[in-house]
Amino acid sequence: MEKNKRSVLIIGFILIFCSMLIFILNRYGLTQLYVIFQRIIHLLTA
């Protein structure tokens, strides 16, 4: 049961992430998306 809940959470996160990606792509374009990704990676590795 606990494992199932975790996989649902991961799938939900991926769906939110993908919809965010599509939204950013439509709104700002690919270059802005790249800049945002660099900032996120910088935050995660800092």
- Report the distance separating Cα 6 and Cα 38, nearest Å: 28
Q: How many domains does the chain have?
A: 1
Q: What is the pLDDT of residue 37?
A: 87
- Report the distance separating Cα 26 and Cα 2, nearest Å: 36
pLDDT in tens, 10-22: 999 999 999 998 9
Q: 7: domain range?
A: 2-45
Q: What is the pLDDT of residue 1?
A: 65
pTM, whole model, 2 decimals? 0.54
Structure tokens at 5: 């809940």
| pLDDT exceeds 90 at position 41 | yes
Mean local confidence (pLDDT), 30-41: 88
